[in-house]
Structure 1
Amino acid sequence: MSAKAISEAKGKELLNKFLNGSVKNKFAIVKEDTDIESLTSQHSWLESEKLVCKPDQLIKRRGKLGLIKAGADFYGIKEWLGNKLGKEFHIGACKGRLKNFIIEPFVQHQQNEEFYICIYSHRTADTILFHHEGGIDIGDVDAKAVKLEVPVGSDLTEDRIKSTLLTNAPDNSKECLIKFILSLYTAYRDLHFTYLEINPLVFTGGKIYILDLAAKIDQCAEYLCKAKWGEVEFPPPFGRDALPEEAYIAELDAKSGASLKLTILNKSGRIWTMVAGGGASVIYADTICDLGGTSELANYGEYSGAPSEQQTYEYAKTLLGLMTEQIHPDGKILIVGGGIANFTNVAATFKGIVRALREYQQKLIEGKVAIYVRRAGPNYQEGLRIMRELGNTLGVPIHVFGPETHMTSIVSMALGKKEIPQSPKQMHTTANFLLPTGGSPSSSRRESLSEVKTSSKTSSLSQVVTGDQSGIRATTTLFTNRTKCIIWGMQQRAVQGMLDFDYVCSRKDPSVVAMIYPFTGDHKQKFYWGHKEILIPVYKSMADAMGKHPTADVLVSFASLRSAYDSTVETMSYPQIKTIAIIAEGIPENLTRQLIKIADEKGVSIIGPATVGGVKPGCFKIGNTGGMLDNILASKLYRPGSVSYVSRSGGMSNELNNIISLNTNGVFEGVAIGGDRYPGTVFLDHIMRYQNEADVKMIVVLGEVGGTEEYRIIQAIKDGQITKPIVAWCIGTCAKMFTSEVQFGHAGACANAEAETAVEKNKALKEVGCHVPTSFDELGQVIGDLYKKLVNDGVIVPQEEVPPPTVPMDFTWARELGLIRKPASFMTSICDERGQELLYAGIPITDIFKEDMGIGGVLSLLWFQRRLPRYATKFIEMCLMVTADHGPAVSGAHNTIVCARAGKDLVSSLASGLLTIGDRFGGALDAAAKQFSDAYESKLIPMEFVNQMRKEGKLIMGIGHRVKSINNPDKRVVILRDYAQKNFPLTPLLDYASEVEKITTSKKPNLILNVDGFIGVAFVDLLNNCGCFTREESKDFVDIGALNGLFVLGRSMGFIGHFLDQKRLKQGLYRHPWDDISYIMPETTGLMGTDTDNV
């Protein structure tokens, strides 16, 4: 999410609604499918006024390009459009089709009536530029225009507009312009614009007209402004068509808590990427372009934020569909890359990708696709394993690597710049729970700092930054091994990770002292501290949490983007909190800027928004930073090193942990300031802390395209404020190589000026003495070379490694990794709700509806674990229909009615009715099926069966009816018998029961085969002869009571009906009438003799 450009038509529509002081814009939109002739019926002014027409596709300098037709009538506009609409047009190296135009009334005016106005937002203020000479020949606006800044939280006044902006404006226009600018700024702020340029703004005839407009709005503010904005489409830059696949991924992204992005750069390209992480996705694009693959790079995109297996499958399927549409003579390359994840389950995401790859197996083979995989993070071993196994059967080469391989090495391999290793080196982890032998890690020359060497230089807290820092936040050390924090949000997994980190760092006590969760009452949550179980209090009220834990000075906020602002403002009202980490991504920029202002006033350091946090080895980590414990140990984050880093990307911070641990003695502190345009603290805030920390010997900075914060580092180096060696690299170098603008993974990753490009930043950093690699691929080598130099110079003295404490692995995670097994307490074979889609006996719920299986089909899956023929499922439905109810007089309905009238709820009333079902009422299905089946299989003829039951004094279950007889048959049985005889393959047991019925009715006409008996024997015929079951399986279903289930399920519908009927009729408490009760009291005379004195 980020500031996104909107069409001119949408911008003018918004200003029409919310702007006062200007003439309302009339306009008509013309697209390729627009019937131009019918426009006049919708916009009558088209035929009566002079018009102006221009493309509305985010094209700059349209007048200079000859793309504006002005002063023509409707016929002239149609003729001009005929030569432009749908035609290809070149703007420099960029080419695209002209397909969206806007027609407006032509405003006759003089050159001296044109003005220029622009409003744009930055970290601390909104800037308004105004020039009294507007139009296409305005030239260098920054040099000419008058500038007025409105600080965040301040209001714009008429006096400031008049005294600052309008000093050169004609006197006759000033009054109107003042009111217009004031109204324009109000609309700008309320509608969450981030950029709004009007050129020219015309004042003629005492009125103000907006002629040309360019605007961007903050997409993150949609939840605040949806009612005001209405439906907003964000058009792609000119030269890049919006594809339906891109729209589909955008829709998935909008419906998911994860991040899913896809931009098609060149549909015919040879190199396709499927990268995890916003920062990593930029780095992969950079590396491809640096190695000469710009013209063949097909797409930019990323998936991150722990998407589910199904979401990753949908993303991969969409990408593979585009990739395999066209065949490339040299074959295609698919790079499945990513850094070391902090919390995303790599195996789960890879399972989704593997499903998609299998689905497109044949097309991948036909397209001669080669796949290169590099990934790490939680459960990455399992993810890489299933990828390697896929390589054995997919039919295309798959090269799989983990954290032992540099992140972008697979790009060099894919483009033939580097050899593909046959057996990648294995990475040794110090995670004792992953090593069967439990051995201690080997010693290394890249170890922690000598306490002896640095003790004279080290202080527990950094000194306050002094001197002219130009707005640099003055702060002490953020975290120590005594830091106490409060967690906002119910994030048990993150909290447990923090406690495990604390334990492995040999902290004396946990860093998390409390949690805040306003949606439940106060309670306690259980966590592990090493082997012990501990309880951490959870508070509904922030005031209670702060009051009971006054030593807590850090708050880690997992609040959603909608509640993060309010909860952070509340947090800053407590002076004890000095540092706040905001994890949420997508907070509106205006709200973030207000948070920054409040934090500056109160001296609070904010890390984020849109961050994973940060880590100080041996002391404290924020939330999920550093990933799982095996990665914490592998990257030696349990003790401090000599290198501190600051990065925008949270995902890349974990990659930096890995790179630094492989090439140096490890990390002293690392912070990911966040990917949003306005991070709470900036690079320089943290670098100045590192500069004043004696134990930090070198600094790594991972910047990116967009913004100017890196230039503050450069200035600080020039001013002598920073003297420690810095290794720096700004990602996004590929941006200049694209012919159209690309918004990268982070909201702030988009250059608005030449100086904001990554190439210019890297150049400037190198010029002031920073160690800048030629590409990210060489970052580790440059860090390693500088570290060796510092070791050789005696600045760093490596020490022997001290093994960390052993931490037990969580049972659930160990089971997921396949390290342990445990017999399940429950087993089920009919339903699985764990995946993206509900499964009934293995059949997805969407398929059940797609094939119209009905309730009978669902019962066949849930009760019998297989799909029965359509005639069988229809018979099940018929059985439910005929058993649904049989009036209020039967015992079950009677009980339900009595309970309902006693004021009981639906479930209680239904249960009372169901509890009457047994051998005497409704429970004869199973018994009838068993009796008739046993007789038939014993080869007793019907007469022998009847005689035997009479001799044993047993009733024949399923025979007999209180009302119906052979002369007045039960229509339910007639309907079912007719269906079974017409549709069942065979009905031997039904035929047998019919012969028995002839014998019993000859003695008494109401001894007919009733509905219970009929369903029982007919269902046995169905099970035995439908071809889906063996005889043993059929018998098992009868024995376990499946047939009675039909009556219970069917009659439940009727009981519920009776309950609703009684409630609807508002029937009172039922009391049985006395005259329907026969009172028979025992005789008392003589029972106790004649002597009753003692009674």
Structure 2
Amino acid sequence: MSAKAIYEAKGKEILNKFLGHHAVKNRYATVTVDTNWDQLVIDHPWLSTEKLIVKPDQLIKRRGKLGLIKVNTDLQGVKDWLANKIGKDFQIGKAVGKLKNFIVEPFVPHEQNEEFYVCIYSHRSADTVLFHHEGGVDIGNVDDKAVKVDVSVGENLTEQDIKDKLLTKVPADKQEILSQFIAALYKIYVDLYFTYLEINPLVVTKGVVHVLDLAAKLDQCGEYLCKQQWGEVDFPPPFGRDAYPEEAAIADLDAKTGASLKLTVLNKSGRIWTMVAGGGASVIYADTICDLGGASELANYGEYSGAPNEQQTHEYAKTVLSLMTQEKHPDGKILIIGGGIANFTNVATTFKGIVKALREYQQQLIEHNVKIYVRRAGPNYQEGLRVMRELGETLGVPIHVFGPETHMTAIVGMALGTREVPRPQPKQLTTANFLLPGGSPSVSRKGSDAELHKPGSKGGDTNTSMEAQLSSNKEISHEPLFTRTTKAIIWGMQNRAVQGMLDYDFVCSRKEPSVVAQVYPFVGDHKQKFYFGHKEVLIPVYKNMADAMKKHPDADVLVSFASLRSAYDSTIETMQYPQIRTIAIIAEGIPENLTRKINKMAREKGVTIIGPATVGGIKPGCFKIGNTGGMLDNILASKLYRPGSIAYVSRSGGMSNELNNIISLNTDGVCEGVAIGGDR
């Protein structure tokens, strides 16, 4: 989920559309530095005839206590008050920003005892509705004071429940109108994919409801479902951080590609700039920079991931470099081009785009005294590091290049001077020649197979040692998700991922491929050719899921490469077949409301869900999901072809691969690992 705050004016516009008779329609006018007051009065005649209230609309909390609300004034009073505020710097805590967006509304006369508080927010298995019979600026710690009711996913909030559980301290003459309002508000909250909605105060006076102050967040992933109902939505940055056109350009580029491209400017004058591959890696690099004392100089936050092509990476890199070279820093600047071990992103392709951008900005990089630190691994990373090293010989800017032999965040310490820059050590490459006829095996397949089946082994068809310990506890019912005989159906025509799974099966000495079928509703039934070792195998592709399930009753795993728009429906359909015990949902960007419905049904049916927004998981020696573990050279280097004794859970696909590498270097290897994903 991507919960994004919206302007108060936008939130009230949405409520105006759908609340109907349950509340007085909000009248408001937005004022900025460029506002033409004469035209504004023509558009909103009530501005010159009614008492008014004015306040900033910039995601600022506790505006009343900060002195940022002017109430019960006329139009001239609004202008006079704004003259000292609009376009001026204002400090809230440590954040300093300009007040530049205000909302003006009619003042609603009312008594203190007519103010109430209501808030709705979402979490994993339910929505929580908070209510307090006293609202306003002095409400204090509402979590301790308010009464609450949890509404489970898929259930309704009835007016009677509201009266019985939330309105017990509300005067009897206001209970009916409030219960109707809250019930209608909750329906809008669910239907329009809100993730947070707070009204304080909510005023009930003269028999009608007024929404005075409002704060709201929408699930941006639900935009494709609610675009028409929402209308045009701007998601403003937090107070104290300006929105840059470069951020909008990257967001537009991101919307046009299946890859993920994100950019947030934190401190345009900062010294430390990053160009990081992967969402998980971007968090770790930012945290490491802050831990080493670079927080005040961290200029940006973002990521490129999901296999962007050379042109997309080039545009992304150009945008970062254009921002980086706008202001000079007396100590020079640092560019960290980092990332974990990619699962499927072609490192050479992305690096060629970055190298092209670096060449275009060569003169500016020299003038700004930039030092570049690179660390990356994954598919074709050797070629990517080679072109980066060659660039360092001609660019005129120091470039330090490292691969998977160097810890992912080590380059941060090098860049900030907390550790020395070592000479790169040659890395012994692991190849997959043994997959070819006559190839010399780097790994003994016989030895691997024997290790899996020897008594007390951590792999094989039986439980791992961890699983055996869990099974010894009679109160825990535990069955392994994957074994050496696990069979999977793939939703989607992801032939590269399927071939990767078959290559992994062969490396692990499985007797049969783990993939038994593919489902793709946009083609007719046919068979697709793949390789199991050096032998050709034909895997059937079905148009209908029912046919695949009927003809392959031994398949108990479904790996879904469905798009974010079709993943929900295809997952719900899959759970109608009792043979499926595990579903891995690769797609990211699925709205949280839909994900919660999937999870609820999965719990009811005893199905394990991995994802959404996951690369999958791996059980060495048994089975891997999709692109997990990356290419064969990484699988061999990380010893993922046979079981170890370390298990892990990761939120990030790239970081799960990084864990595979770290664990293999320091222990006997991985026994099971999963990237649980998640968009929140």
Fold match (TM-score > 0.5): yes
Equivalent position SS for 1:84: coil
SS at match of 1:325: coil
Matches within 5 A, 1:624-639: 624-639=627-642
**Structure 1 CA distance, aligned partners of 2:43 and 2:325?**
44
Mapped to 2, the partners of 1:312 and 1:326 lie a distance apart of 23
The structure-2 alpha-carbon separation of the partners of 1:537 and 1:397, relative to structure 1 and needing over 3 Å to count, comes to: same
Tell me, in whole angstroms, the C-alpha distance in 2 between the residues paired with 1:207 and 1:474.
55
**Deviation string for 1:934-954 (max 9, x for gaps)?**
xxxxxxxxxxxxxxxxxxxxx
Q: Does 1:319 align with 2:316?
A: no
Per-residue CA deviation, residues 253-294 of structure 1 (Å, 9 max, x unaligned), is 111111000000100000000000000000000110110001
Kept in 2, the 8 Å contact 1:404–1:427? The answer is no
Where structure 1 has 5 or more consecutive residues not aligned to the other structure, the ranges are 677-747, 749-1095
**Which of 643, 647, 663 in structure 1 is aligned with 2:646?**
643
The residue that corresponds to 1:11 in the other structure is 11
Structure 2 residue identity aligned to 1:182: A
Superposed CA RMSD? 2.2
Per the alignment, residue 596 of structure 2 pairs with 593
What is the Cα deviation at residue 419 of structure 1? 1.0
- Residue 460 of structure 1 and its aligned partner are, at CA, apart by 3.4
Give the corresponding residue for 1:666.
669
Shift in CA distance, 359/274, structure 1 to aligned 2, threshold 3 Å: same
- Verify the 8 A CA contact 2:453 2:459 in the aligned structure 1: no
For residue 577 of structure 1, give the secondary structure of its aligned residue in structure 2: coil
SS at match of 1:155: coil
Aligned ranges for residues 792-807 of structure 1 at < 5 Å? Answer: none
3-state SS of 2:84 partner: helix
CA distance in structure 2 between the aligned counterparts of 1:163 and 1:578, rounded to whole angstroms: 40
Report the counterpart of residue 192 of structure 1 in structure 2: 193
- Kindly indicate whether the alpha-carbon contact (under 8 Å) linking 2:4 and 2:219 is maintained by their aligned counterparts in 1: yes
Please give the residue correspondences for 1:827-866 in structure 2 after superposition, counting only pairs within 5 Å: none
Describe the superposition over 1:885-926 as per-residue Cα deviations: whole angstroms up to 9, x where unpaired: xxxxxxxxxxxxxxxxxxxxxxxxxxxxxxxxxxxxxxxxxx
**Do 1:644 and 1:669's aligned partners in 2 also have CA atoms closer than 8 Å?**
yes
TM-aligned CA deviation for residue 44 of structure 1: 0.2
Equivalent in the alignment of 1:160: 161
Q: Which amino acid aligns with 1:199?
A: N
**Do 1:560 and 1:584's aligned partners in 2 also have CA atoms closer than 8 Å?**
yes
C-alpha displacement at 1:423, in angstroms? 2.8
Q: Distance in 1 between matches of 2:678 and 2:602?
A: 19
Give the match for residue 103 of structure 1: 104
Task: Give 1:39 shift.
Answer: 1.0
User: After superposition, where does 1:953-968 map in structure 2 within 5 Å?
Assistant: none
Q: Which amino acid aligns with 2:552?
A: H
Q: Which residue of 2 aligns with 1:115?
A: 116
The letter of the residue matching 2:306 is: G
46 and 590 in structure 1: CA distance in 2 versus 1, 3 angstrom threshold: same
Measured against aligned partners, the alpha-carbon deviations of 1:446-476 in whole angstroms (never above 9, x if no partner) come to x97994556899953847779999xxx9652
**Whole-angstrom distance in 2 between the partners of 1:545 and 1:475:** 28
Residue 565 of structure 1: SS of its match in structure 2?
helix
Does the CA-based 8 Å contact 1:448-1:665 persist in structure 2? Answer: no
Match of 1:566 in 2: 569
Tell me the distance in 2 between the aligned counterparts of 1:226 and 1:63. 33
Give the structure with the larger strand fraction. 2
1:428 Cα shift?
3.8
CA distance in 1, matches of 2:513, 2:459: 29
Conservation of the 8 A alpha-carbon contact between 2:519 and 2:541: yes
Mapped partners of 1:465, 1:646: distance in 2: 20
Q: TM-score, normalised by structure 2?
A: 0.96
Query: For the structure 1 residues 366 and 247, does the alpha-carbon distance in structure 2 shift closer, same or farther, using more than 3 Å as the test?
Result: same
Measured in 2, the distance between the counterparts of 1:505 and 1:449 equals 9
In 1, distance between residues paired with 2:588 and 2:653?
11
Q: 1:33 to 1:114 in 2, by over 3 A?
A: same
SS of 1:655's equivalent? Answer: helix
CA shift at 1:427, angstroms? 3.8
Which residue in 2 is equivalent to 1:170?
Answer: 171
Please list, as runs of the form range in 1=range in 2, the aligned pairs for 1:762-781 lying within 5 A after superposition: none
Cα deviation 1:101-149 (Å, max 9, x = unaligned):
0000011111111000000111111110000001111111111111111
How far did 1:33 drift? 1.4
Alignment match, 2:26: 25
Separation in structure 1 between the aligned mates of residue 555 and residue 104 of structure 2, nearest angstrom: 61
- In structure 2, do the counterparts of structure 1 residues 24 and 555 end up closer, same or farther at CA, with 3 Å as the change threshold? same
**TM-superposition CA deviations, 1:563-607 (whole Å, max 9, x none):** 000000000000000000000000011000000000000000000
1:976-1008 deviations in whole A, cap 9, x for unaligned? xxxxxxxxxxxxxxxxxxxxxxxxxxxxxxxxx
Distance 1:468 1:641, change over 3 A: closer
Q: Structure 1 counterpart of 2:613, which letter?
A: A
Matched AA of 2:602: A
Query: 2:610 corresponds to which letter in structure 1?
Result: I
Mapped to 1, the partners of 2:592 and 2:100 lie a distance apart of 32
Partner of 1:525: 528
Does the Cα contact within 8 Å between 1:372 and 1:400 map onto a contact in 2?
Answer: yes
Equivalent in 471, 477, 481 of residue 478 of structure 1: 481
1:85 aligns with 86
Question: Which residue is 2:421 aligned to?
Answer: 420
Residue by residue, what CA displacement relative to the aligned partner does 1:585-642 show, whole Å, maximum 9, x if unpaired?
A: 0001100000000000000000000000000000000000001111111111000001
* Residue 655 (structure 2) aligned to one of 652, 672, 676: 652
TM-score (norm 1): 0.60
3-state SS of 1:392 partner: helix
Q: Indicate the structure whose relative CO is greater, using CA pairs within 8 Å and at least 6 residues apart.
A: 2
Identity rate of aligned residues, in percent?
73
- The answer to whether the 8 A contact 2:459-2:622 is kept is no
Instruction: Give the structure 1 partner of residue 282 of structure 2.
Output: 281
Q: Which residue of structure 2 lines up, in the alignment, with residue 379 of structure 1?
A: 380
Paired residue for 1:429? 430
The one-letter code sitting in structure 1 at the alignment partner of 2:2 is S
Deviations 1:490-534 (A, max 9, x none): 000000000000000000000000000000100000000101101
Q: 3-state SS of the aligned residue for 2:395?
A: coil
1:726 aligned partner: none
Q: Aligned in 2, Cα 1:67/1:393: closer, same or farther, shift over 3 Å?
A: same
Q: For the residues of structure 2 that align with 1:457 and 1:492, how far apart are their CA atoms?
A: 27
Q: Tell me if 1:545 matches 2:548.
A: yes
1:430, CA displacement in angstroms?
Answer: 5.2
Q: Equivalent residue for 1:536?
A: 539
> Unpaired segments of 5 or more residues in structure 2?
none
Q: Does structure 2 conserve the Cα–Cα contact (< 8 Å) formed by 1:405 and 1:424? A: no
Which residue in the other structure is 1:248 paired with?
249
CA 1:66–1:255 in structure 2 vs 1: closer, same or farther (change >3 Å)?
A: same
Read off the aligned partner of 2:189 and give its amino acid letter.
Y
Q: 1:448 to 1:263 in 2, by over 3 A?
A: farther
Which residue identity is paired with 2:528?
Q
Q: Hey, what's the Cα distance between the residues in 2 that align with 1:613 and 1:118?
A: 36
Deviations 1:810-847 (A, max 9, x none): xxxxxxxxxxxxxxxxxxxxxxxxxxxxxxxxxxxxxx
Larger radius of gyration, structure 1 or 2? 1
Deviation at 1:311, TM superposition (A): 0.5
Tell me how far 1:424 sits from its aligned partner. 2.5
Cα pair 1:273 1:300 within 8 Å, conserved: yes
State the shift of 1:675 in Å: 2.7
Summarize deviations over 1:769-820 as a string: whole Å, max 9, x none. xxxxxxxxxxxxxxxxxxxxxxxxxxxxxxxxxxxxxxxxxxxxxxxxxxxx
Cα contact 2:451–2:457 (8 A) shared by 1 = no
Secondary structure of the residue aligned to 1:130 is strand
**In the alignment, structure 1 residue 607 sits paired with structure 2 residue 613:** no
Aligned-pair distance for 1:175? Answer: 0.8
Task: Specify the SS of the correspondent of 2:293.
Answer: coil
User: Retained in 2: the 8 A contact 1:448–1:666?
Assistant: no
Does the 8 A contact of 2:434 with 2:442 survive in 1?
Answer: no
CA pair 455-617 structure 1, distance change in 2 beyond 3 A = closer
Matches within 5 A, 1:197-216: 197-216=198-217
Paired position in structure 1 for 2:268: 267
Matched to 2:33, the amino acid is E
Q: 2:510 aligns with which of 504, 507, 510?
A: 507
1:281 and 1:450 map into 2 onto residues whose CA distance is: 40
Counterpart AA for 1:229: W
Q: In 2, distance between residues paired with 1:396 and 1:434?
A: 42
DSSP 3-state at the match of 1:407: coil
Alpha-carbon separation, structure 1, partners of 2:507 and 2:214 = 58
The alpha-carbon deviation at position 36 of structure 1 amounts to 2.4
- Structure (1 or 2) with the greater helix fraction: 1
Distance 2:221 2:424 in 1: 46
